[in-house]
Amino acid sequence: MRVSEEIPEELICAYEDFILTFTDESGERKYFEKIPELIEERKRSLRVDYDDLFSYLPTREHAKELLVNPRMHIEAASQALSRIIKRYGDISTEELELYARGRFHVRFFNLPTTAAIRDLPSYSLGRFVQISGIVIRVSDVFDKPLKIAYICTNCGAVVFADPNEPKPKDCPGCENPNFRRDLDRTELVSWQLIRIQERPEDLPPGAMPKHVDAILLDDLVDEVKPGDRVTLTAVISLRPAKRREDAGYGILFKRYLEVNDVEVPSRVYEKIEITPEDERKILELSQDPKLEEKIIDSIAPSIYGHRIKKKAIALALFGGNPVTLPDGTRVRGEINLLFVGDPGTAKCISGDTLVFTSDGLVRADRLIKEGETAETPDGFISPLESRVLSMTSSLSLEWAAPTVAAKRTQNSDLLEIKTKSGLRIRVTRTHPFLTIGRDGYVRFLPASELKRGMFVAVIGNFQPSEVQPPVTSTLTPDENTAELIGMVLPRARFSEERGRLFLRLMLPASLADRFKELAEPLGPVKLEAHSAALHATVRLKRNVASDLFSLLPTLRHHPQAREIPQWLISADLPVLRGFLRGYCSVEGSYLQKSKRAAILARNARILHQIRLILTRLGVTHPKITRSKSGFRLLISPAQADILRKSLAEGGPVPEPLVKAAAQKKADDQADRIPYVGALLSKLRKNLGVPRSKIGIPTPTLIRYEKGLSHIPRNRLRVALEELEKAARDLGPFPANREIRRELAYLRMLAESDIAWDEIASIRVVHGDGWVYDIEVPNNRNFVANGFVIHNSQLLKYTAQIAPRGLYTTGKGATAAGLTAAVVRDATTGGWTLEAGALVLADRGVACIDEFDKMNENDRRAIHEAMEQQTISIAKAGIVATLNARTTIIAAANPKYGRYDPLRSPAENINLPATILSRFDLIFLIRDEPQEDLDAGVAGHILRARMGTNPSVEPAIPPDLLKKYIAYAKQRVRPQMTEEASRVIKEFYLEMRRQVGKLSAETEGPLPIPLTARQLEALIRLAEARARMFLRSYVTEEDARVAVELMREMLSEVGLDVVAGVYDISGVMVGPFMSAVKRREELLKLLNEMAAKAESRMVSEEEFIRSAVEVLQIEKPVIKREIRVLKENGLIYSPRPGFLKPAARP
């Protein structure tokens, strides 16, 4: 810690007096009595509670000054400690003398100033603050010089200099200017860089976690590891930014922390504060006979049914007892769950939907590439190389890389959602849309829960993908060429006469001179007047024609089938203005009755492309109507005024836009953010800002705050500027942190790339039997027909109610992924250890979506994390073991699109059996038509829409449930009883006996219904249920509930439906044992039949007929097994309808 001024002697004496004389409530000298312990254990730091320093009258003023001038006071206290150790310590040996000559530190904790990481910029430099967060990165340990020793090359004199000072110029003894550095005598201190990130529970809604770098010195190094939740005291300091950060911006600096004290709290749920009143409610709740039902009803109450699954989640939140055996082996108490759901169950769109890809707008049904598809039980999947437009967690739009597109059968009707602006899309009933609720917060809702008048997210602003225009020799893709393209694209037709190509189109007479000027590079132009219109004919030059078709590939198509090329949508703004100027000149009109401008689009693709161009020019979601020739985009006066100002920069503005812009009225804004008025009012009142200071007319602001009208985006920005100014001087109190969170949320809405469109109608429509979907691994959403759609619900809700919950995806957000990684630190150049999701969720719950999409490094490391609950790293010279005592609740998609009951779980899921076997319970979430269930779902959703469904409200408030779970895990450790043990043992033996009955009649390997892993899972589940009721022992009923859950799992994923027996081999090994034998017999039969054929090919129909007769296997099963054998490379089809065994080496 650098100190730039001399330490006053009286200050050192004051701290010396405090250490020597301060007494606690029992009258003991609290800190002086710790001195012998420090010396005995060779420790160099004494931790001092700030409250003690403040309560000691002689040092009260020093305690206040410590917060604003910490470096001087910390150094003074450290020097005082050094003096006390040398004076009062028993320094009797040479080793202790060497110890006493070292540096000592006083480390202060429990400061009154607690700062959030994202609020650090609001604190002045040099302030002493307390920070809490998660360690996400730890560097190597380096040696940092405090004083560098220089030896005179002439007389040998030693001169010490500060590292920040230049080398001495002259020797003080002989005035020799030559020195050499002596590292042996240089005073060094251990140095380590760590990175602290905000805790998930401290994040404002929808915000990305902030982080700050911190420096550990001397005995603080290696005190923490990635994943630790720490509370540290530190001085705010400044360092120059890295070169790549300040490139082009001048000199920049970055804040970091010089750590004085670091503490890893021993309490697991340190954030969960349980008051005596909370404890009374918890104990009262534990006596409720319907407690279990209430907890189940409190897990994702908006999702109908799935009570068995919700019960399993509830028990996983409580968990069992971790046990350390006499030989040191640790048996985990955490319960791991896996949910396997059909992607088509909830998220599909119709084939005519236009998906926004980096290659342009593509129909969903054309994403499936013929010849590159893989067959699934209900359709096909195809790899997808183009990026798609997708929304991030901060509501910005980016181009994300999807994995596959899927085509699936769909027998039920679809819902058509239409908005007031005219956007429409057809989806399955459970396809989620991003909406904004009446409380002002965004959330995803399935299509079946949408209703007229609600607002859904649509594309507002975006950065186009980089697409370069084709290389041409005669036409330059500039603003003039773009304007010409805008004129010819919607109307031009071509004819060929005597080997020459002619371009013909009808234009308004007012464009005669402008068109002739623009079209002159194409060839000779002939204009003929026809009443109010102009007939233009251009004889295209041969070399120009090829360039024109390169720039406009669809120009030869019929006008109804043309589209705007992607390079033009991605072009610079002047080029966009030129195109829109030309397009509006020929396809624009002014509607006298509605006082609006109208732009004609002859097909849906051009409609959305024009909307994208308008978005880039500042006009969001203009109203869409149908016309005889296609679609019309209606431009309001305010929108027309925006376009008029933009297009005027490069040329004449089309007349329809000029006329519409002249009708502009005050507050005519289409881009409004609904339902945030109440939030704005609450913040304004909490900050004490009068309405007159907001910058919006008071009557108008009152309407916004009362919800009588929705606030325009630009006015929300104005209001936030005033509120943010008022919030700058707020202290770091919990209520103020909430204000900052809400301000950050509103700012995110104001600066987001999405707009909000009101739903005008919802109707049931018939599909064509197929629906389509796209898998986007990280963001889990994409833009289609202008809407933002697709997301997950159940796992995110679980992460919210867990005391330490973390939600992520199998890909992970950093290089560390799910486990941990060694990455090179850009600051030090050395290797650092970075924690992944499971380490960050240590002693908590990690909800991991798309678990099957994890990277290869995580697949290798996840085995240890799920069983031993640690993650070992040995890379780049770093050897470490990190704790990952985490309950994992994961979701995965079937490998083949839909779950195939004839295959084992290991064959259905893209995960090795070694990972699957580490889940205590595996459940399927499927959508199969059942009249009673469908009626229940419909009633649940309809009552929720009408506001008459109490079951959508959690039976236990989430805050209380979170505290209840934390209390149970802190205070309760249930013990197994004889009665409970007997129930579990009887079930285990009963299932294992089934194998004995089969052994006499079955040859080869036998199915295994249960293993010791499932036995341990039963124990954990029974203990978790006992903990749920705050019992200190496990009852017989607890054991029966655990058995019920295990039976349910076995019936869903452990049942070999072909053989009709339970076989956990499908999870623990790979295929079911009966499938192994069946495939061996089919392969043997095919080899026999192929040996008799001249070409070694066997007709597939003949083979299936023989297999049915010889092996007594049903025909559908044989077809499935043939497909599996093909996938495994054991057989192949040399030509359609024939099979042939693969040649073996």
Per residue in 239-268, pLDDT (tens digit) is 887 655 545 567 788 889 999 999 876 444
What stretch of H or E contains 581? helix 573-587
CATH number for region 364-422+429-461+754-789: 2.170.16.10
Which residues lie closer than 8 Å to 588 by C-beta, 6 or more apart? 597, 598, 599, 600, 654, 655, 656, 657
Bridge partners of 502, per DSSP, are 495, 539
The pLDDT, as a whole number, for residue 354 is 86
Parallel/antiparallel/unpaired status of strands 845-849 and 887-892: parallel
Pick 949 or 970 by higher pLDDT: 970
The pLDDT, as a whole number, for residue 805 is 55
Lowest average pLDDT, out of 218-222, 443-447, 1087-1091, goes to 443-447
- Output b/e per residue, 82-116; b: 16+ Cβ within 10 A: bbbbeeebebeeeebeebeeebbbbbbbbbebbbb
> Which whole number is the average pLDDT over 923-944?
55
CATH class of the domain whose range is 672-751 = mainly alpha
Lowest average pLDDT, out of 55-59, 168-172, 370-374, goes to 370-374
Domain positions in the chain are: 9-109, 114-263, 364-422+429-461+754-789, 479-661, 672-751, 971-1068, 1073-1141
Q: How far apart are CA 1043 and CA 1066, in angstroms?
A: 20
Q: Is the pLDDT of residue 657 over 80?
A: yes
The pLDDT, as a whole number, for residue 760 is 92
9-109 matches 971-1068 in fold: no
Question: What tens digit of pLDDT does each residue of 56-103 get?
Answer: 888 888 888 898 889 899 999 988 988 888 777 666 666 666 676 778
> Which whole number is the average pLDDT over 904-922?
81
The pLDDT, as a whole number, for residue 817 is 63
Q: Are 676 and 749 in contact (CB under 8 A)?
A: yes
Q: Is the pLDDT of residue 803 over 90?
A: no
Q: How far apart are CA 224 and CA 221, in angstroms?
A: 8
Q: How far apart are CA 366 and CA 379, in angstroms?
A: 14
Which of 58-72, 328-342, 779-793: highest mean pLDDT? 58-72
Lowest average pLDDT, out of 81-90, 520-529, 763-772, goes to 81-90
- Residue from 454, 367, 355, 489 nearest 789 by CA: 355
CATH number for region 114-263: 2.40.50.140
Question: What tens digit of pLDDT does each residue of 23-32 get?
Answer: 887 778 888 8
> Which whole number is the average pLDDT over 189-213?
77
pLDDT band at 791; cut points 50, 70, 90: very low
Which of 587-601, 604-618, 762-776, 873-887: highest mean pLDDT? 587-601
Question: What tens digit of pLDDT does each residue of 511-520 get?
Answer: 888 888 888 8
Q: How far apart are CA 329 and CA 882, in angstroms?
A: 17
CA-to-CA separations, 551 to 152, 468, 556, 565, 950, in angstroms, rounded: 75, 11, 12, 7, 59
> Which whole number is the average pLDDT over 692-699?
88
> Which whole number is the average pLDDT over 163-170?
79
Lowest average pLDDT, out of 426-440, 682-696, 914-928, goes to 914-928
- Residue from 607, 676, 594 nearest 640 by CA: 594
pLDDT band at 108; cut points 50, 70, 90: very high
CATH number for region 9-109: 3.30.1640.10
* Architecture of the domain whose range is 971-1068: Orthogonal Bundle (1.10)
Fold designation for 1073-1141 = Arc Repressor Mutant, subunit A (1.10.10)
Q: Is the pLDDT of residue 989 over 70?
A: yes
Q: How far apart are CA 206 and CA 436, in angstroms?
A: 13
The pLDDT, as a whole number, for residue 857 is 66
CA-to-CA separations, 212 to 117, 130, 365, 459, in angstroms, rounded: 7, 13, 46, 33
pLDDT band at 914; cut points 50, 70, 90: confident
pLDDT band at 1145; cut points 50, 70, 90: very low
The pLDDT, as a whole number, for residue 1034 is 93
pLDDT band at 1075; cut points 50, 70, 90: confident
The pLDDT, as a whole number, for residue 1001 is 53
Percentage of the chain lying above the pLDDT 90 cut? 8
Which of 79-93, 203-217, 756-770: highest mean pLDDT? 756-770
Lowest average pLDDT, out of 81-95, 114-128, 810-824, 1068-1082, goes to 810-824
Q: How far apart are CA 808 and CA 457, in angstroms?
A: 23
- The mean of the pLDDT values for the chain is 80
Q: How far apart are CA 1127 and CA 376, in angstroms?
A: 12
Query: What end-to-end distance do the CA atoms of the chain give, in Å?
Result: 69
Q: Is the pLDDT of residue 139 over 60?
A: yes
> Which whole number is the average pLDDT over 753-769?
87
* Architecture of the domain whose range is 479-661: Roll (3.10)
What stretch of H or E contains 130? strand 128-152
> Which whole number is the average pLDDT over 1010-1032?
90
CA-to-CA separations, 161 to 102, 145, 218, in angstroms, rounded: 18, 10, 20
Pick 36 or 200 by higher pLDDT: 36
Question: What tens digit of pLDDT does each residue of 261-285 get?
Answer: 998 764 444 446 677 888 888 898 8
